């Protein structure tokens, strides 16, 4: 059994150091950790400091992220390169992937995603899910703040909720639900509301029959997907139909 230390929350200012890593700036804060951009020997990394309240609430479950990241080697997922653990801090050092989250692009930049962009993002995320599921890992948190875009590159971050698939609580279709909601966010980026009365997404969005069927299956509103390979095949078929 791993005993996790409890420590007071500390904010690291630019210019301060955590071990051998120098703080450049705060990147953001999630439910489990606070992320900083740091420098070591002229190279930039991400320092993810796990929140004390997350440790108190989740206990030893908090180590799953570190364990899972340690067995992942995929270019679209930041690698874990170091850990810092003592009586004052529990943190890890991750590869820094440049770009913006989909959340920042939609709500900050008001970016409107084109059909080609939506396909590129969707197929890259599906590739990541496929890689994870082939290794019996389910991410469980594929949301707009956890997907980074840099040109044509797409990265998936934040493995705080990731678990080993056990075919009970942690099952592959959970990721399909998240993928469906992610794609709906992308479609909504070009939506212009003309009616004061809100409608469900499947009535508001101008979707083809194929897109509607695909999203409804992802969200388990109709016959649900059980395999990422079926998801991939149907999504690629949408692109073929779209191009004709």
Tell me whether the CATH fold assigned to 17-95 matches the one assigned to 100-243. no
Q: What is the pLDDT of residues 134-180, one digit of tens each?
A: 999 999 999 999 999 999 999 999 998 999 999 889 999 999 999 99
Q: What is the pLDDT of residues 71-110, one digit of tens each?
A: 999 999 999 999 998 878 889 999 999 999 999 999 999 9
Per domain, the residue ranges of the chain are 17-95, 100-243
Instruction: Indicate the pTM of the whole model.
Output: 0.90
* 151 vs 210: CA distance, rounded Å: 27
141 is catalytic: yes
Q: What are phi and psi of 232, to 5 degrees?
A: -60, -45
Q: Which of 141, 175, 222, 234 is catalytic?
A: 141
Per-residue pLDDT, averaged over 229-240, amounts to 93
Q: What is the pLDDT of residues 7-57, one digit of tens each?
A: 455 789 999 999 999 999 999 887 778 999 999 999 999 999 988 765 666
The reply, when asked if residue 100 is annotated as ligand binding, is: no
CATH of domain 17-95: 3.30.200.20
- Residue 53: CB partners within 8 Å, gap ≥ 6? none
CATH 3.30.70.20 fits 100-243, yes or no: no
| Buried-exposed string 112-135: b where 16+ CB fall within 10 A, e elsewhere | ebeeebbbbbbebbbbbbbbbbee
């Amino acid at each position: 059994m791993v005993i996790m230390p409890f420590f007071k929350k500390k904010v690291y200012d630019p210019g301060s150091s955590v071990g051998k890593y120098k703080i450049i700036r705060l990147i953001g804060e999630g439910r489990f950790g606070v992320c900083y951009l740091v420098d070591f020997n002229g190279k930039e990394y991400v320092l993810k400091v796990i929140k004390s309240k997350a440790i108190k609430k989740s206990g030893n479950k908090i180590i799953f992220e570190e364990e899972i990241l340690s067995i992942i080697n995929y270019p679209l997922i930041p690698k874990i390169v170091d850990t810092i653990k003592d009586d004052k801090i529990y943190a890890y050092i991750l590869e820094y992937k440049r770009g913006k989250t989909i959340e920042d692009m939609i709500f900050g930049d008001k970016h409107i995603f084109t059909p080609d962009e939506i396909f590129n993002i969707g197929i890259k995320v599906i590739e990541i899910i496929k890689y994870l599921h082939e290794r019996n890992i389910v991410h469980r948190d594929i949301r707009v703040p956890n997907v980074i875009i840099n040109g044509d590159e797409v990265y998936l971050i934040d493995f705080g909720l990731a678990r080993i698939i056990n075919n009970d609580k942690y099952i592959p279709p959970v990721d399909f639900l998240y993928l469906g909601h992610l794609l709906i966010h992308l479609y909504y980026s070009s939506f212009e509301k003309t009616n004061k009365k809100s409608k469900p997404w499947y009535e508001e969005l101008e979707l083809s029959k194929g897109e509607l069927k695909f999203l409804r299956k992802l969200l388990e509103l109709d016959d649900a997907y059980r395999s990422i390979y079926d998801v991939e095949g149907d999504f690629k078929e949408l692109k073929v139909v779209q191009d004709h």
